[in-house]
Amino acid sequence: MVHLQAMSPEKLGQHFLSESSWQERIARAIGIDEGVWVEIGAGHGEMTMRLARRAKKVFAIELDARLAAHLRRDMARYLNVEVIESDVMAVDFGRITGGARFSVYGSLPYYITSPILHRLFEHAERIDAIHIVIQLEVAKRIVAAPGRRDYGYLSVASQWFGRPEIVYPIPAGAFRPPPKVDSALVSFRMPGERAKITVDDEGAFLEFVKECFAQKRKTLRNNLRARLGKQAEGVLLEAGVAAGARAEELTAGELAGVFRVARGR
């Protein structure tokens, strides 16, 4: 068995934001307040330190055992910093924050951006904002508007829970080792479309959205026939959606409207 702690930063998908000018720029952009902050992928602690100077409490999550040990030593002077050596997917955010509201900053491994976001969305009710440095291509998918080529399931899920925007792109040269792609800082202000229209089961709604985008070239009616059969067209019309519409044309709120009608059938 390969132990993650023994793997190189590249294997863990770690690319450290080494340019201090970018660190400062991001710190200003995310507007660090005096609340509780969770940092994902604390690395060498450059952003941890900037968070600690302003925040009431910082939970710095780091998977790499060696980096976590260095963080504990370097952050010892900051009594408001707690280093958590863990895979972020295993962290109980409710437990570590004591049920308090919190904000998130993280430089996310490119290969696991979507699962981490979904993990955070489980706690959307208590999150004030999410600020993440991610692959630019993924960032474009997250913020894409209906009708755009990049618009899909991840766009809908992200815009359901928050109001994401690309603050600015970040060149590969700002990182060590430099990734093969450009990155971007994406900020989510909470809440998103879920504040305008409610659904009785958000997990079921997200599964429904996946079905809607199962084959993007097909109409929504055809994608929903496996679930709704001959009722698919009637559900769309009752929800105020054209029978020939495609999922990529609908906002998260409009898809929620279709879901609500479908649940009532």
User: Cβ distance 173 to 16 under 8 Å?
Assistant: no
Class of domain 202-264: mainly alpha
User: Cβ distance 63 to 3 under 8 Å?
Assistant: no
Q: Where exactly does CATH 3.40.50.150 map onto the chain? A: 4-193
Q: Where exactly does CATH 1.10.8.100 map onto the chain? A: 202-264
- Rg of the chain over Cα atoms, rounded to whole angstroms, equals 20
Which letter does DSSP use for residue 187 in this model?
A: E
Those residues of the chain that have pLDDT short of 70 are 1-14, 265
Q: Which pLDDT score, from 0 to 100, does residue 259 have?
A: 97
Query: pTM (2 decimals)?
Result: 0.91
Q: What is the pLDDT of residues 82-128, one digit of tens each?
A: 999 999 999 999 999 999 999 999 999 888 999 999 999 999 999 99
User: Cβ distance 109 to 88 under 8 Å?
Assistant: no
CATH of 4-193, one of 3.40.50.150, 3.40.50.2300, 3.40.50.300, 3.30.450.40: 3.40.50.150
**166 three-class SS:** strand
Q: Which pLDDT score, from 0 to 100, does residue 14 have?
A: 67
